[in-house]
Amino acid sequence: MNSLLVFYFSCILFPILISPSIANTTTATTSSLRQPKSLILPVTKVLHFPRNQYVTVIKQRTPLVPIKLAVDLGLENSWVLCDHSYVSSTYKPQHCGSPECSLASKYRTNEDCRDCFAGGTLNTPGCNNNTCIGDVENDVGNILGAGELFRDVASVESADGRVVYVPNLLFGCGDTMMMEGLASGVKGIAALGRTKLALPSQFAAAFGLEKKFTVCLSSSTTSNGVVLLGKNDGSKSLAYTPTIFEPSFGKRNGKYYVDLNSIKINDKVVPFPRKYLSFGYPLKYRGGTTLNTIYPYTAMFELIHSAFVNSFVEAMPKDVPRVADVSPFKACFNSTYIAKTPVGPAVPRVDFVMKNGVVWRMLGTNTMVEVDKDVMCLAFVDYGEYSEGSAIVIGGHQLEDNLVQFDIANNRVGFSNSLLSKQTSCSMFAAKYINA
């Protein structure tokens, strides 16, 4: 890897989202080079109380600085801390009147134009006049704010080992109050939602990538997982289910909702009313099933969670003693009585059955978490303490060592089920790209 082929796209500052001219510009300036088919974002699992995070690094600014960002699969706008530490000669506030401005908020339908919104020194990052203001959302710390939109240079690697640049990646500015709950060194959130301003669509527009990305999270904190933006040759054997739109925010909502029909444990349906899974239940703006890394463990609406825990405990072999709960978990067992297998502890199978009949099967490695030397707990939590609002959010622990593809163009999500049962893992998958 000593001969990195570095290419700079263009010194012309073009807006990324106005695609026909872009596709042309990029092709024209790189005509002698192959366009990348996919880009990589390395992902590290970071242990952090109370919520572990999956963290990526993007280089940004001039001169380039590596910025750590927590990965949020459902977020619409990426954002980063804009304070005195933001130093860049290519920072460009997004002025009012561009199409991006009206896309920058899920909650407003009109663009929001303001003068130096956040306070601070005029004409520094986060504080410029006549700029559009977008949503800045931190679902890890549960804070919703707003901030100046801006563009700046960013750089990532392509799957074939080149360094590539985007001259004008659009981000929002967060202030220090927005940092609540983020792990040490994390300076913002990388939005991988299904909307236009999120990274998959911005990178797809800039490089002409397929509008999809693949997530493979490593269960280890010492070996990376990866997000592969664009084409993924390893995705042929995935099972797909459609992604649907939540009615309140519709296409302004970045979350990937899947149509979950039922949950089975050892083939027995977990008994709870079907309406718990529908949109608008128990309140407007709530409900539905999504997938997201901002929850370290699958989070469930409390009534679904209690039914789920009861069914799981019932299905557990009777000779495995239950031990005291370890917060935030509700079903913990003495693991010396649980056999170990290559796909984790031998516990009841959990199947998420989608409306189109496709089944996401979760085995011990994804359903149980070791909390002590001889204690293991069911790794699903009651979302009571969080307010993201979906009925179920399939979280990080359940996504680990699964290849999950978010196919934005075709409104579907594909998943592999545990790679461990195929004698591979996400760190092995990621190593093909990251240490190439």
Ligand X SMILES: *[C@@H]1O[C@H](CO)[C@@H](O)[C@H](O)[C@H]1NC(C)=O
Cα–Cα nearest to 287, from 272, 277, 275:
277
Cβ closest to ligand X, residue 307 vs residue 313: 313
- Binding segment for ligand X (CB under 6 A), chosen from 104-112, 115-123, 132-140, 391-399, is 115-123
Distance CA 401, CA 422 (A): 10
Residue of 124, 129, 248, 262 interacting with ligand X (CB under 6 A) = 129
Contact status, residue 82 vs residue 175, Cβ threshold 8 Å: yes
CB-nearest residue to ligand X: 115
Residues 230-289 that bind ligand X (CB under 6 A): none
**Of 50, 374, 410, 432, which one interacts with ligand X (CB under 6 A)?**
374
The answer to whether 336 contacts ligand X (rule: CB under 6 A) is yes
- Structure tokens given for 296: 């370290």
Between 23 and 57, name the residue whose CB sits nearer to ligand X.
Answer: 23
Compute the least distance from the CB of residue 28 to ligand X, in Å.
6
Residues 16 and 25: beta-carbon distance below 8 Å:
no
Reference 288, options 351, 239, 245; nearest CA is: 245
Per CB under 6 A, the segment of 114-122, 277-285, 401-409, 425-433 that binds ligand X is: 114-122
Shortest spacing between CB 279 and ligand X, in angstroms? 41
Q: Which 12-41 residues touch ligand X, going by CB under 6 A?
A: 24, 28
Residue 121 near ligand X by CB under 6 A: no
- List beta partners, residue 332: 323, 377
- The phi and psi torsions of 336 (rounded to 5 degrees) equal -65, -15
Q: How far is the CB of 130 from ligand X (least distance, A)?
A: 7
Question: Toward ligand X, which CB reaches closer, 198 or 376?
Answer: 376
> Please, which residues have CB within 8 angstroms of residue 200's CB and are 6 or more apart in sequence?
192, 194, 211, 212, 213, 229, 406, 408
Residue 19 or residue 266: which is nearer to ligand X going by CB? 19
Beta bridge partners of 169: 152
Token pair in block for residue 246: 């939540």
Between 5 and 18, CB nearer to ligand X: 18
Three-state DSSP at 407 gives strand
For ligand X, give the closer residue by CB, 143 or 375. 375
Which tokens is 202 given? 């911005």
Task: Identify which of 40, 117, 126, 43 has the alpha carbon closest to the alpha carbon of residue 80.
Answer: 126
The rounded distance, in Å, linking the Cα atoms of 110 and 276 is 33
Site size for ligand X, by CB under 6 A? 11
Q: How far is the CB of 5 from ligand X (least distance, A)?
A: 24
Per rule CB under 6 A, is residue 326 in the interface with ligand X? no
Q: Give contact residues for ligand X (rule: CB under 6 A).
A: 24, 28, 115-116, 122, 129, 323, 334, 336, 374-375
